[in-house]
Structure 1
Amino acid sequence: MTSKGRITLPKKLRDQLGLVPGARLAFSLLGDGSVVMRVKHRRLSSLAGILTRPDQPTISIDNMKR
């Protein structure tokens, strides 16, 4: 770790995770002291519609507001 708190991930790991410059990462500290790093590939807007089912009827925004 550098004096500024920066870390370097090995190239092989960056390639396996599909990391590119500017990639967003999230770090979580677990109760046992372990750290989990997650790559944040998606924006919240990319999740729109993931809970729909093929047989589910669609509802317009206007009907939702009512």
Structure 2
Amino acid sequence: MVNSTYAKNGIIEDQMAVTVTRKGQITLPKSVRDSLNIGPGSMVDFERAPDGRIVLVKVDKRPTPSHFARFRGHAGKGLSTNEIMALTRGEI
């Protein structure tokens, strides 16, 4: 169910009712997924707005790669034992 309401700031907001499953899950309406460019595997966050509303936000940040990530898939001449030990200690 979609109801349009006129907000104080002059922006028309759509209110969409969804059903919560027994597991606490919901299905995001297609219009919401499309407007936030949310697809399979996308991460979202819920933030509390100053007026108390809960806002759905797409998370664009990718996890910070570990200091080992740059060596993943490397098959050439590798590091020396001392360099590997320094890497595991976080010295590099």
Shorter-chain TM-score range: 0.5 to 0.7
Q: Which consecutive unaligned segments of at least 5 residues does structure 1 have?
A: 46-66
Q: Identify, as 1 or 2, the structure richer in strand.
A: 2
SS, match of residue 22 in structure 2: coil
- Residue deviations 1:11-47, cap 9 Å, x none? 12111111111110111234643101110022265xx
Which of 43, 46, 54 lines up with 1:27 in the alignment? Answer: 46
TM (norm. structure 1) is 0.55
Choose between structure 1 and 2 for higher RCO, CA contacts under 8 A separated by at least 6 residues.
1
Which of 19, 22, 41 lines up with 2:60 in the alignment? Answer: 41
The size of the alignment, in residue pairs, is 45
Q: Which consecutive unaligned segments of at least 5 residues does structure 2 have?
A: 1-19, 65-92
State the one-letter code of the partner of 1:38: V
Across the aligned residues of Structure 1 and Structure 2, the Cα RMSD in angstroms comes to 1.8
Which residue number corresponds to residue 4 of structure 1? 23
- Distance of 2:39 and 2:54 partners within structure 1: 21
Q: Identify, as 1 or 2, the structure richer in helix.
A: 1
